[in-house]
Structure 1
Amino acid sequence: MDKLARAFYKFLMFLACLSMVSALLAITLNIATRLVDGWSIAGLDGYAGYSIAAALFLALPSAFMHGSHIRVTLLLQNVGPRVKAVLEYWSLGLGVLVSSYLAWFSCRLVWMSHSYHDVAPTGDATPMWIPQLTMALGTVGFAMAFCHALINRLRGQPFFAESSDELTRIE
């Protein structure tokens, strides 16, 4: 199960990378079309924004796994092992609750946007559930990563990557 979860985080990171490349392409195309007098492609700004937001949300699980999120290690370094364990359990438990709520809210937002046929107010009228789907996928992965970290902590197994090589290593 651990390998499957980590493969899912890597897949989400791959999608985040594709999102960043698509944001770059959308912005470059937008600049190029503005240089041509009187020609423009409607909605490219919106697609660039959707791509950047997708990259942010899709990268959440991998960033968490590699310790890239803000953590208060100053406190953890200056307390005893017993207090440190309590604080880690407390923070992981709270993280599971908050990230699960965020995932539930994101999935509900996608469902509501789809149900009400919500579209972007831009000229291209993109159905909003499509870009919101990446947010839901990323937050579900984030909640899964918090649960994964808590379960590994309870089992006494490491969750957080020890080096940057783990992201590229294929197991």
Structure 2
Amino acid sequence: MIRRSLDLLYLGAGYIAGIFLVVIFGLMMLLSVGRDINFNVPSGDDFAGWAFAAMAFFGLAHTFKKGEMIRVGLLIERLHGSARKGAELFSLTVAALFIGYFTFQTGKLAYDSWQYSDMSTGVVSVPLWMPQLSLVLGLGTLLIAILDEFVIVLRTGRPTYEPEPPKSVEELVERVAQGGGV
């Protein structure tokens, strides 16, 4: 039940990121074509920038859980057994501490913007807590994903974002041909 809910959370965050990508495309097309037909989108650049930030931050957890996030595993990949499990847990702990801190600080920023009624300075005045909330929600979802992964590694010793080793030479060749990791 919890596993399914968490997976739906990460997938939902990925879909939200995709929706913001479509919003960015739509805004950029309106801004580009609008120049030629004398049509202006008020604060279009601001909205596109906020949509870009929302897309990036909502996409973090989904990307992390799918193993698509850039990860430097030069040391961890050379370890085996309990040493590897310890290194994975250490790296996930450090990641959780950093992302937890960033989540707290962006939450504080959004709360302060709401409390002091901070508004954007563009043509269309928008309360700043609204676009800032996407950062908080995206980072919060990533923090949940990291803690989820910590529990998984603690139980099984193997993170879910790491692909299973290939079982045959054909499978290895197929993964390499598809551009996937080994």
Counterpart residue type for residue 29 of structure 2 = T
Q: Which runs of 5+ in 2 are unaligned?
A: 165-182
Distance 2:88 2:159 in 1: 13
Moved over 4 A (4+): none
Structure 1 residue 158, shift from structure 2 partner: 4.6
Match of 1:146 in 2: 146
SS of structure 1 residue aligned to 2:74: helix
- TM-superposition CA deviations, 1:97-155 (whole Å, max 9, x none): 11111111121111111111111121111111111111111000000001000011111
Which TM-score applies when normalising by structure 2? Answer: 0.83
Match of 1:31 in 2: 32
Matched residue count: 162
8 Å Cα contact 1:148-1:159 kept in structure 2: no
8 Å Cα contact 2:85-2:153 kept in structure 1: no
Distance 2:57 2:87 in 1: 26
Structure 1 residue 66, shift from structure 2 partner: 1.5
Larger Rg: 2
Match of 1:9 in 2: 10
Identity between Structure 1 and Structure 2 (%): 24
* Alignment of structure 1 residues 18-167 onto 2, 5 Å: 18-37=19-38, 39-156=39-156, 158-160=159-161, 162=163
Q: Greater RCO between the two (CA within 8 Å, min separation 6)?
A: 1
8 Å Cα contact 1:65-1:161 kept in structure 2: no
**RMSD across aligned positions (CA):** 1.7
Which TM-score applies when normalising by structure 1? Answer: 0.88
